[in-house]
Amino acid sequence: MLYTPIQFRNVELKNRWVMSPMCMYSSENGMANDFHFVHYGSRSQGGTGLLIVEATGVEPRGRITNHCMGIWNDEQAEQLQKIVEFVHKNSESKIGIQLAHAGRKGSTWNNLQISLEEGWETIAPSSIPYHPSERIPHALSTDEVKEHVQYFKKAAQRAVKAGFDVIELHGAHGYLIHQFLSPLSNIRTDEYGGSFENRIRFLIEIVDAVNEELNEDTALFVRISGTEYAENGWDIEDSVALAKILKEHSVDLVDVSSGGNIHGAKISVFNGYQVPFSSQIKNEAQVKTGAVGLITNVEQAEEILQNNEADLIFVAREILRNPYLAIQGAFEVKEECFFPHQYTRAKISS
């Protein structure tokens, strides 16, 4: 199954390998540069079905660090468009972008908060810092929450114009959307806090606003944390319930990660440790899912698909080590995969 195509709206991926979005901390003023061109371009030569550009801030305060990517203005989108055009012209890969807002985890570097002089005032659903040593974030007013929905909408508009095939919304890892989802970081008393329905409202409004900018040529994914590993926090049952609603709102795939919102949460990490969350959401919510988390080889990836635990395989660290992971895997299992014509003399026949 790993080397069979799959379709989301009109977007067909040639195989099930996905380069997971990973921050590169290499932008100035949110701009992509030559490093990003080479980084994403080289992975497109490796046969990966879908590449997803790193968490990209929908406003300046939405970045994790002051060296993270942004798409809050047209100049940033135009730089990203050059990467998109290269990928489309020189490979069979599709390319997506992860739209993000760091919320209370913004303005940080290596888990240390940047000074206000170098960074910015952080924002959150409630005035609760991620770590007690960090400054207290500004709790968004109801009107400010609605304003942030529009930031995502405008970022999606720019991303579509730049030619991206997939938009992914970052609702995981303790960033702003996740902060709204969790009852541990969201203690609001307005329409965006309290009940499950209120806490998911911010994400659902973003989904609907972004979908207004999309057509059948651009698919919509949402990344969530299946659980946050904390008592009385967001858990897998919440994720299943959310996934059912996301499907009703025309989300094409739920990308299932975990954790990130509660400082000091105990997480048992092993190869494929998040796959059970993807499996439960896929089978109970009847939605397409992506599995991520220490997936390192073709046999492991194929087994996940054969067991009906996911529809896509998101790979992070392994594809940093080996940009040609998909091609190399195809050689091992004697499957067909895109191979750059410039490198034909090195191709191993299947």
pLDDT of residue 11: 98
298-308 residues labelled b (16+ CB within 10 A) or e (exposed): beebbbbbeee
Q: What is the pLDDT of residues 112-144, one digit of tens each?
A: 888 888 899 999 999 999 999 899 999 999 999
Cα(268)–Cα(259) distance, integer angstroms = 11
pLDDT of residue 350: 59
Cα(104)–Cα(139) distance, integer angstroms = 9
Weakly modelled stretches of the chain, pLDDT under 70: 350
| Listed residue (204, 196, 185, 197) closest to 140, CA to CA | 185
The dihedral sign for the CA sequence 100, 159, 11, 85: negative
Neighbours of 34 (CB within 10 A): 8
Contact status, residue 207 vs residue 169, Cβ threshold 8 Å: yes
Neighbours of 166 (CB within 10 A): 26
pLDDT of residue 268: 87
Query: Which phi and psi (to 5°) does residue 154 adopt?
Result: -70, -35
Taking the CA atoms of the chain, what radius of gyration do you get in angstroms?
19
Q: What is the pLDDT of residues 153-199, one digit of tens each?
A: 999 999 999 999 999 999 999 999 999 999 999 999 999 999 999 99
CA triplet 243, 122, 225: central angle to 5 degrees? 20
pLDDT of residue 319: 95
